[in-house]
Amino acid sequence: MRSVPPGIKEQLRTLLTSSSLADAHEQRTRLGVSVLAADMPRTDRLWATIEAWWDV
């Protein structure tokens, strides 16, 4: 089974260490685009978790 691509892991780390809400929103958007491009079940599950926890 393939793991989550390293670029997506790094984007997740960047999102989690954002210093402001505006920065977090931008990083979340970038991560979402990468998840769509990866088109992998593991990244889709990761995105579903982020969406479930994100307070809109």
25-43 pLDDT per residue, tens? 999 999 999 999 999 999 9
Q: Rounded to an integer, what distance in angstroms lies between the CA atom of residue 22 and that of residue 49?
A: 20
Is pLDDT at 2 greater than 70 in this prediction?
no
Single pTM value for the model: 0.86
SS3 call for 19: coil
Q: Rounded to an integer, what distance in angstroms lies between the CA atom of residue 30 and that of residue 14?
A: 10
Nearest CA to 7 out of 34, 39, 27, 25 is that of 34
Is pLDDT at 10 greater than 60 in this prediction?
yes
Q: How confident is the model at residue 1 (pLDDT cuts 50, 70, 90)?
A: very low
Q: Compute the average pLDDT of residues 12-24.
A: 96
Nearest CA to 32 out of 44, 14, 41 is that of 44
